[in-house]
Structures are given as C-alpha cells and as structure tokens.
Amino acid sequence: MPHTLVIIPTYNERENIEPIVSRVLASAPSADVLIVDDSSPDGTGVIADELAARHPSVMVLHRSSKEGLGAAYLEGFGWGLSHGYTTLVQMDADGSHLPEQLPSLLAAATTSDVVLGSRWIPGGSIVNWPWHRRMLSQGGSTYSRILLRLPQRDVTGGFRVFSAIALDRMRLGSVESHGYCFQIDMLLHAVRAGLVVTEVPITFVERTLGASKMSSRIVIEAMGRVTMWGLTGQTARRAAAVPPPAAVTSRQG
C-alpha cells in the first residue's frame, strides 16, 4: 500500500471517533490516521488525543474554531502533503463511510488520480435514509452533474481518495467552498485539471449516534453556488466559441 493518510474531520463526534478509528486501523493497517478536530465542545478532541497516545499511527490536528468541513479537509490535505504522504483519503467520522470498504477504494487509486466512493452507480447503496433525504441527495447530484457537465454519477459523496500529485494539480488554493458544496468544488477542480477519476460502489449508512450537521439551508446555499458556477462556466464556454473579429486592413492611395 502507498504511504496513505486517512483524514477524518470531527466536530462533536465523541461517540463515534474511537470506533471509527479502530475500524480504519483494522481495515487499512498500513495507513495512518489524521483526526482534524474543530475544537469540539463535547470533548472529541480529548478522546482523539487519547487515541493518538495509544496508537503511533494516529495524529491529531486541533483547529481553534468550527470553520466548515471543507476548511478542515484542506488543512488536513496540506498537513499530509507537507509530511510526504502519497495517497490521501477523506472520510466522515459518523460511521456513514464504512472503513471496511477502504481496501477497494485504495486498490482503485493505484490506477486513478481520484477515486470516488459512489452511492449512485451499480453496486452502490444507502442504508436507513428516508425517501426525502434520498431524493435530496440524488437530485442535488443530478442537478450539479448537468449544470457543471460532470460525467460522474455521485458528485456530492465524501468518501474519496486523492493522489498527492492530483491534489497538487488541482490547485487547492483556488477551492472556494467550505460547506456542503466542497465535494462538488473538489470534483470540478479534478475534472478541469484533466485527472483520471474513477467511481467505486460503496454502501452509505446513516449515522446511528450523534446529530447530523446537514440542513436544508446548507443544501440551498450549495445549490446557489453550483448555479453560479454553471452559469459562469457557460458564459466562458460561449465566449471561447465565438471567433475573434477579422482583422481590418486599411489601404491608402
């Protein structure tokens, strides 16, 4: 296995962080884990420090405040790249991403720049989601795919693998989003950079402990940003398709 870092952002995940880290270490024993905690008031950061004290392959990055999922991942990516990791994984702390599926994603990463754990391709599935949540996720993914001309089926999923080279080519400094649409933003950067993106089917399981951070306001805000990206991109494409005006030669005499 390449030099792999699994990045797990946390905010108020004291019930979930220890079992999820244990499962990651069991499923990918050659990988290291970086917990990025946004100063969780429930003491998640303290539990993370205890895990790091017991496991040499677990590290903790403490952030001073809650600044959004995307900001946590970007800081984790920066930390991993600066420490020489060649393969970087992003996954949730709430148990919705099954660590037992890490080997299949990492195997695909040997021949791809970016690997998406996909719920919406054959073999992918969702467990314990109500119909309205399924429609919201699938509808948001379809809307983003069409507007941004993305060929991938699951553009909002958060279980992903990136090569260090891919992250460098994606120019992370230009990633604008820190909320729900961070995943769309990252995929858009990957596709526009000409990277090889592969989807691998996963089973997504709704959390059983703790509270979800998802809300309708977050989704509406994300779709507004996607709409802006789509319209801006279409304007740029139309401008590029218009030939420049013919040169006018002036003659005298």
Render pLDDT for 72-98 as a digit per residue (tens, 0 to 9).
999 999 999 999 999 999 999 999 999
Lowest mean pLDDT: which of 45-59, 177-191, 230-244?
A: 230-244
Percent of the chain scoring above 70 in pLDDT: 83
Candidates 23, 186, 35; CA nearest to 95 is 23
CATH fold group of domain 4-239: Spore Coat Polysaccharide Biosynthesis Protein SpsA; Chain A (3.90.550)
* Residue 30 CA: distances (Å) to CA of 1, 54, 95, 103, 183: 7, 16, 20, 11, 26
Provide the residue ranges of all domains of the chain, joining segments of one domain with +.
Answer: 4-239
Does the structure show a pLDDT above 80 at 113? yes
Question: What is the per-residue pLDDT for 250?
Answer: 38
Return mean pLDDT, the chain.
Answer: 85
Q: How far is Cα 38 from Cα 179, in angstroms, rounded to an integer?
A: 14
Render pLDDT for 224-243 as a digit per residue (tens, 0 to 9).
677 777 766 543 343 444 44
Distance in Å from the first CA to the final CA of the chain: 77
C-alpha neighbours within 13 Å on the C-beta side of residue 98: 16
Q: How far is Cα 47 from Cα 57, in angstroms, rounded to an integer?
A: 15
